[in-house]
């Protein structure tokens, strides 16, 4: 399939924030065994990093609009 970079792309990613019970997947669970919250945050950080790397690899990162919503509490 030929890529048409003239057409806009919409991508919605919902990442569940770290919350109790903190149960990060491997290897973050093992790496942060004494700090499970930190393991969950590290997992989310790594996941977002993969997304951004994918956008760069696809050549669309520089033209991307990335919005973040933060809860008020």
If pLDDT is split at 50, 70 and 90, which confidence band does 10 have?
confident
User: Hey, is 16 helix, strand or coil?
Assistant: coil
For residue 2, pLDDT over 60 is answered with no
Distances (CA, A) of 49 to 9, 44, 66: 19, 9, 13
| Residue at token pair 């770290």 | 18
Over residues 1-12, the mean pLDDT reads 72
pTM value? 0.78
Residues written for the chain: 73
Q: Which residue has the higher pLDDT, 73 or 43?
A: 43
């Amino acid at each position: 399939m030929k890529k048409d970079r003239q057409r806009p792309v919409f991508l919605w990613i919902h990442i569940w924030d770290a919350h109790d019970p903190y149960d990060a997947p491997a290897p973050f669970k093992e790496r942060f065994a004494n700090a499970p919250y930190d393991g969950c945050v590290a997992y989310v950080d790594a996941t977002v990093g993969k997304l951004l790397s994918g956008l760069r690899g696809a050549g669309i990162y520089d033209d991307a609009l990335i919005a973040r919503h933060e809860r008020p509490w």
